[in-house]
Chain A
């Protein structure tokens, strides 16, 4: 059974760096696949943040690229997201999710198939 679980601080101060950990089970990032991070401010839409592939290739949303770093520890089945210079507008629920690929009519398509329950982060002094 595949599962993911986010962990990290619930409260951070403005200008601080946020570090979130996604611990997963039921699959491995050693030879295939990807894990991504998505956030959702209270009452607002989902926002995709970052993705890391099994081969350590990384992708970031352009608007936050300068503040984000995604890494993985394959031996621990963990993916870590750091976000620098936190601001109250970064208050949100942060989700990690497994990246899936399916082939349809000869083309590969990507989506997020299993999500963690999310962790709520509040940015306030």
Chain B
């Protein structure tokens, strides 16, 4: 099984901050990495697929990078609507989610 480890598990940030969330795979998954956003009480929404491709309709302040085992989701300037929990997901071998990163208001 491929394990996905996210860090940090939570972070506090202010509107306008640049936020980085990392995700590490237990083995190489090439670029088969997706990022999802889940707001409290809502359904997950895909932000990034194939490690760095922005899903249609997602604001350009979201970006993804990395390949192999190490990946990063970056929010270039945090907006009020971005306070949420973020999950990475590998799709190299079926699917596995990371443990999530909760982005909270400082």
Contacts and interface: CB of A to CB of B under 8 A. Distances in A.
Interface of A: 36, 38, 45-48, 51, 59-63, 95, 100, 102, 104, 107, 109-113, 115-118
Most chain-A CB neighbours within 10 Å: which of B34, B53, B95, B96? B95
25 contacts: A45-B100, A46-B89, A46-B97, A47-B97, A51-B95, A59-B94, A60-B94, A61-B94, A61-B95, A61-B96, A63-B1, A95-B43, A95-B44, A100-B46, A100-B49, A102-B49, A107-B31, A107-B50, A109-B49, A109-B91, A112-B34, A112-B95, A113-B55, A115-B45, A118-B43
Interface of B: 1, 30-32, 34, 36, 38, 43-46, 49-50, 53, 55, 87, 89, 91, 94-100
A58 B91 CA distance: 15
B53 A112 contact: no
A27 to B, nearest CB: 16
B31 A62 contact: no
A48 B55 contact: no
Nearest to B95: A48
Which 8 A-B residue pairings sit nearest by Cβ, starting from the closest? A109-B50, A48-B95, A111-B49, A111-B34, A115-B43, A110-B91, A46-B97, A104-B50
